[in-house]
Structure formats: C-alpha cells, structure tokens
Amino acid sequence: MSKQKVILSENLEKILSEAVACCPHDKLFVLTDETTLQLCWPEVAEMDCVRGAGMITIGATDENKTLESLSHVWTALQQGGATRHSLMICLGGGMVTDLGGFAASTFKRGIAYINIPTTLLSMVDASVGGKTGINFGGLKNEIGVFNCAREVIIDTKFLHTLDYQNLASGYAEMLKHGLISNEAHWAELLRFDLADVDYRLLGQLVEKSVAVKERIVEADPEEHGIRKALNLGHTVGHAFESLALEEHRTVLHGYAVAWGIVCELYLSTVRTGFPKDKFRQTVQFIKDNYGVFVFDCKQYARLYELMTHDKKNTSGEVNFTLLGGIGDIRINQTATRDEIYEMLDFYRESMGC
C-alpha cells in the first residue's frame, strides 16, 4: 500500500484544486451524506475544480454504512458514466470516507479518490490510513479493503459545524492516540475542555494526533504488527457498537471507543501493569465527558460473542491491544471469558450502570 499524502490545509480551494489536477480523470464525482450535503458542501460547491461534478448522496449516520448504501454509490457511478479513469471526492465524516473509499476501491476494480474529512473523528482517524469498508451481518467494518486515498485534505474550519457529541466522538480517538504515544501528549489531551472548545488549540492537537497515526500506519500499513496499537479500545468498543445497532440505540463510534478504553485499560492494569493513577485519571475524563453505555449481566454472553468476531482474533481467542504504561504498547494480548466478564463487571460498577 502506497504512503498516503495528508495535508492540513488553511486554503481548501487551493489545495483541493492542486489535488484534483494531480489526479487526471475523465469524470469527477463528489460523495456526501445528507448532513454534509447541507452543512459542508456549500463551502466547496462554488470552487472551479468541482464544477460539473456528479453528486452522490447517501443517508447520514453509521446505520447507513451498509451494502445497500454501497450499492447506491456503485449504481450512481455506473449511471453517471464513470470509468476506471474517474475520480471521486469523499466529503464527510468517517462513514462517508469508509464507505466511499470502499466504493471507489472496488468500482471498475478501483478508481482514484480524495478524502476531505469534515468531522473530528474522520480527520484524526477514519480518513487516514487506507482502511475502507462497510458494516455487514450486524458487525462493524466486516467487509472492506486497505486502499489509501490519493490525498487526505484536512481543513479544521469544518469543526465549527459539529455539535458537542460529534466533537467528543472524534476526541476519543485523539485520547487513544495520546495513550499510545507519550505522557506529555496524553496529559494535554486530558486538560482540554470539551465543553468550551478552543478551536485554535484543537487544531494544534489534531495535527499531533494525525502525526501519531501516520507514523504507525507508515511502519505497518496493513496491520500485521504495530498498527494494532490503533485498536486500543476497539475490541470492546466495536462490540458495544454492534450491540447498540442490534438494539436500535445507535451510539457514535468515538463514544463506544471511549467506553472500550475504560474496559481495556482495566485489563491493562490487571494484566500488563498499567499505572493505576493514570488509569483513574483517564476513566474520570471519560466519565465526565461521555456518559455511560448501559447494559446488564444478561448481555455479557452476547458482548463476548461479538468480541469473538473481531478481525484481530486468532485461534478463537479474543485479542486485545493493552498498555504497560503510556506509550508502552502490548499487542496480541488475549483474555479468557471469565476475565472479560470481570472486565464488564468493573465497567458497570465504575461507570454507574
């Protein structure tokens, strides 16, 4: 997988014009969801570089990250006369860049695409690193491919379109990046006030967060080793998301990751010696900013079953990324069913389920 070009932009029209010019194409398409069509497309619509582009719009939220939406994009490309020499711009959050990247990667065996992430989550995580895909069979990101966008253009002005919940959702991935990088970055993330956002400071933190992910992805593009560090909080988090989808109480991805971090840091304190003071500080920040995902002991078996479907698993064992300390990454850690149930007990007791 080729190295991805990620640009933090202060002049979106200039950077996008250059990116489009660097991707020779016969036809141009822009993918949005219903929300970004309304809130973000107006920032781009009058630019000469997208004039005449074919517009494709899908439903918003993770509930629409489906085979049906994917088919809709393929159909729109086909009916719009796209060829293998066409180009697609994915303008939106993580759902749009994930699904759009997968649609582009598979249509005519692959057309070029550019990501313009518009949510904090997609800026620091989903749009960077070449993971594309859809949910399938009730499981998160079950179908997909590794294929990088030609360019990822990050313009933090789009953050002003977000409500608290979507800012917090993206910030959970930034907190994860702090935990797997160094103590200074982790500490400054805990000091940030999500209730009173300093957008200038947030932009600086986004740049640091993207750098953490880029460094890890460059070292291990297809997740054979250290890239699994980016899965901290995700084994449990994806199970929470999948359970929420089943029960028609969809949660934002970053919230599920935050709750997953609580669980997996608990395992880290028990299994790999993660410092208890840093564990308590991190859990308190999550309690203060993310509320709680409510479930009872009758749902443990289903959550465990969902964890067994995680793509990192080998030989039928549930696989976690744990930490021995801030930045001390321990990949390929397993836990028994009893240990996982104990972890869920701790979550419910500490978070006040």
Q: Output helix, strand, coil percentages for the chain, rounded to the nearest 5.
A: 55, 15, 30
Strand partners, 328: 325
What DSSP line would sit under 150-193, residue for residue? SEEEE-GGGGGG--HHHHHHHHHHHHHHHHTT-HHHHHHHHH--
Do the beta carbons of residue 256 and residue 240 sit within 8 Å? yes
pLDDT of residue 119: 97
**Is pLDDT larger for residue 324 or for residue 311?**
324
Locate 36 and state its tokens. Answer: 């970004």
To the question of domain 164-351 being in CATH 2.60.260.20, the answer is no
Q: Is there a contact between 353 and 344 (Cβ–Cβ < 8 Å)? A: no
Mean pLDDT in residue range 13-28: 97
pLDDT digits (tens, 9 = 90+) for 228-281: 999 999 999 999 999 999 999 999 999 999 999 999 999 999 999 999 999 999
Query: What pLDDT does residue 332 have?
Result: 94
Domain 5-161 CATH class label:
alpha beta
Amino acid 126: pLDDT: 87
Q: How many of the other CB atoms lie within 10 Å of CB of 42? A: 9
Span(s) in the chain for CATH 1.20.1090.10: 164-351
311 pLDDT band, cuts 50/70/90, is confident
Looking at residue 343, its pLDDT comes to 98
* pLDDT at residue 3 greater than cutoff 80: no
Q: Average pLDDT for residues 73-90, to the nearest whole number?
A: 98
Residue 196 has pLDDT above 80, yes or no: yes
CA atoms within 13 A of residue 240's CA, in its CB half-sphere: 27
Residue reference for tokens 């929420």: 244
Is 326's pLDDT higher than 90? yes
Average pLDDT along the chain: 95
